Amino acid sequence: MTRVPIFDLDGTLLDSDAALVAPFVAMGIGRERVTFGALLADECARLGVTVDDYLARYDHDAAQPFPGVDALLAELDRWAVCSNKHERSGTAELARLQWRPDVAMFAGSFGGPKQLRPVLDALGVRAADVVFVGDTEHDRRCAAEVGCRFAIATWNPRARAVDGDEVLVAPCDLLRLL
């Protein structure tokens, strides 16, 4: 059986930390106050700014793929994105990079934090048929909630593996899990 990979976007496929922080810094918020993995609306509320103000300052061209990601995606027949990213930004970045996942769902699709069940349903697959690749504890929980395999993208230096994770050092390492 070939598994279908589902990817988180920011911090997994895209080296986006600087791009995600820049709008907050442009609004006078210290970089050290910004956290990663939360819904944009929640992070903006926590930091006292509006989503519209953040998006007006977000550079859709700034986040770049981690080394090896383009080559990995070129090898895949089917894949999907499940991200807390705002849909406007996520869609723009996928288009800019000419990435065409079978399914791409962003924060607005879930009515809250990202969830894998709607992505599985849209792909027409079971949890046993996928591996979710991410970089945060929230990603790990998403996989556990549906009972699918989880692989941690340790090519992101912020990602921390725990017991039970499939550890991916480079994007091409995913191919052995599929």
Flag whether pLDDT at 144 surpasses 70: yes
| pLDDT score recorded for residue 43 | 94
- Hey, which residues does 152 pair with through a beta bridge? 134, 167
Q: How confident is the model at residue 112 (pLDDT cuts 50, 70, 90)?
A: confident
- pTM, entire model: 0.93
User: Which superfamily does CATH assign the domain made up of 4-15+63-177 to?
Assistant: HAD superfamily/HAD-like (3.40.50.1000)
Mean pLDDT over each residue of the chain, to the nearest integer: 95
| pLDDT score recorded for residue 1 | 63
- Residue limits of CATH 3.40.50.1000 in the chain: 4-15+63-177
Convert the pLDDT of each residue in 54-98 to its tens digit.
999 999 999 999 999 999 999 999 999 999 998 989 999 999 999
DSSP characters over the chain: -PPEEEE-SBTTTEE-HHHHHHHHHHTT--GGG--SSS-HHHHHHHHT--HHHHHHH--TTT-EEPTTHHHHHHH-SS-EEE-SS-HHHHHHHHHHHT---SEEE-GGGTTSS--SHHHHHHHT--GGGEEEEESSHHHHHHHHHHT-EEEEETTSTT----TTPEEESSGGGGGGG-
